[in-house]
Structure 1
Amino acid sequence: MVAVIAGWLLTACTANPIEPAGPTAPTAAGAAPTIGAPTATPISAPPNDSTSIPPTPTPAPTEPPATVVALKCDGLTPEQTEGPYYTPDTPERTSLIEPGMTGTKLILTGYVLDANCQPIANAWLDFWQADAAGEYDNAGYVMRGHQFTDADGRYQLETMLPGLYPGRTRHIHVKVQAPGGPVLTSQIYFPGEAANAGDQIFDPALIAEVETTADGLRGAFNFVINPK
């Protein structure tokens, strides 16, 4: 995947429909409209404490998204359970899509911000999720990977829309950590899902902004964390 979000903007304090990208960085974090229908080699372990963030960010993608969504920065991102399927030592990569995968393509973009809505460079994000069939790979690293924000605090994840499994709505797990800071463990949810109402873990504050595109879905979610 070749994609970049340099040159687009997530504007503050709105939850309006999708708008064209702008010239400056946003100050934002999640809320949402409804959506339409819808192997990498392990590297060194992710950080287990407040001192283990590597010094360089994941290289930024090279193609900006066609559109961005307006988000708000209105408080720290809620913490959620890690669940039983976390695996450390994931590969560093911005795309979780592998040859032969089926499902709905999702490109998720956003920023990691502090409580003052300032972007955090070189923040660590570790994503893991079920595949389109609702199954986790607990033996390898399918649908698992970590990355680092760029100098402007931006990240981009290319993946497949996660499937449903009993008791859970669609979601993506994530751990986020600023350099030298505490680890936030949380989840990202999707708008318009019937299963949201019956999921005991679901938090509407963690719904991403999502739009339907020609080749799948494009979403946006900003993380607001304590950097120290």
Structure 2
Amino acid sequence: MAAAPAAVLLGAGAAGAAPALARDRVGEGQRLEPTPTCDDGDEPTPPQMEGPYFKPNSPQRSNLVPPGLPGTPLTVSGYVFGLDCRPLSRVLLDWWQADPNGAYDNIGFRFRGHQYTGADGSFRLTTLRPGLYPGRTRHLHVKVQAPGQRILTTQLYFPGEPRNNTDPIFDSRLLMTVQQQGSQLVGSFDFVVNG
């Protein structure tokens, strides 16, 4: 079975206390469906094609939103785990996406940037919901590379998108958990990579 977004260990309390899971904290009293844990024998996060729009040397930043650009705010957060289910620090995440109108910036670095996971393996990306363009459903691109390891190139998808049914590249194992909170979207996804 391939890796689905893993439940996230946020920390444990006193000895013997149950760990807090990210799925238990989302949405004020609202529980998400349980997801497989990292150590249940699943494979690493599946790769996907890079596509024609990757551009190297993006700026280091966790906020991809150009000043003053309208769109639906989107925050994506999560963790990067190794195959041993331990969070990985200093993992490179290089993001790129279409703007809210479905266009990629191939001249500059709008909606492009890279960041590193924290000591606890966490990341947080601030952006706008990507627009649609012909033949594809709504998605984010990312390259994930743990120190000294191979690069995982993949894409993350939004649940409930009508084009998920017709996009030939779409992979349901790469669906983020996304919730509407006021006027913004809050997404989460956990990566499992060789570490």
TM-score bin (small chain) = 0.7 to 0.9
Matched, 1:136 2:107: no
Instruction: Please tell me the residue identity of whatever aligns with 1:161.
Output: R
Structure 2, unpaired ranges of 5+? 1-5, 13-18
Instruction: Please tell me the residue identity of whatever aligns with 1:131.
Output: D
Q: What is the RMSD computed on CA atoms of the aligned residues?
A: 2.4
Structure 1, unpaired ranges of 5+? 1-9, 13-20, 29-64
1:171 corresponds to which of 135, 139, 142: 139
Q: How many pairs does the alignment contain?
A: 175
Counterpart-to-counterpart distance in 1, 2:68 and 2:157: 25
* Other-structure match for 2:176: 208
2:128 corresponds to which of 148, 160, 166: 160
Greater shift, 144-153 or 214-223, is seen at 214-223
Counterpart-to-counterpart distance in 2, 1:112 and 1:11: 11
| SS at structure 1 position matched to 2:69 | coil
* Other-structure match for 1:92: 60
Contact residue 115 and residue 224 of structure 1 kept, 8 A: yes
Instruction: Please tell me the residue identity of whatever aligns with 1:199.
Output: D
Contact residue 75 and residue 126 of structure 2 kept, 8 A: yes
Contact residue 27 and residue 117 of structure 1 kept, 8 A: no
| Structure number with higher strand proportion | 2
After TM superposition, the structure 1 = structure 2 runs for residues 177-216 of structure 1, keeping only pairs within 5 Å, are 177-216=145-184
After TM superposition, the structure 1 = structure 2 runs for residues 1-228 of structure 1, keeping only pairs within 5 Å, are 11=7, 23-24=11-12, 71-72=35-36, 73=38, 74-227=42-195
Greater shift, 163-172 or 98-107, is seen at 98-107
After superposition, give the CA deviation of every residue in 1:164-210 in whole Å (9 maximum; x if it has no partner): 00000000000000001100000000000000011000000000001
Instruction: Please tell me the residue identity of whatever aligns with 2:127.
Output: T
Counterpart-to-counterpart distance in 2, 1:125 and 1:217: 20
Contact residue 125 and residue 177 of structure 1 kept, 8 A: yes
Contact residue 10 and residue 20 of structure 2 kept, 8 A: no
After superposition, give the CA deviation of every residue in 1:23-67 in whole Å (9 maximum; x if it has no partner): 458789xxxxxxxxxxxxxxxxxxxxxxxxxxxxxxxxxxxx977
User: How many percent identity over aligned positions?
Assistant: 48
After superposition, give the CA deviation of every residue in 1:107-147 in whole Å (9 maximum; x if it has no partner): 00000111122100000000000010000000000000000
- The 1:80/1:22 distance shift into structure 2, 3 A limit, reads closer
- The 1:27/1:224 distance shift into structure 2, 3 A limit, reads farther
Contact residue 76 and residue 186 of structure 2 kept, 8 A: yes
Query: Structure 1 residue 100: deviation in Å?
Result: 1.6
Query: Structure 1 residue 11: deviation in Å?
Result: 3.7
- The 1:27/1:80 distance shift into structure 2, 3 A limit, reads farther
TM-score (normalizing by structure 1)? 0.71
Contact residue 129 and residue 144 of structure 1 kept, 8 A: yes
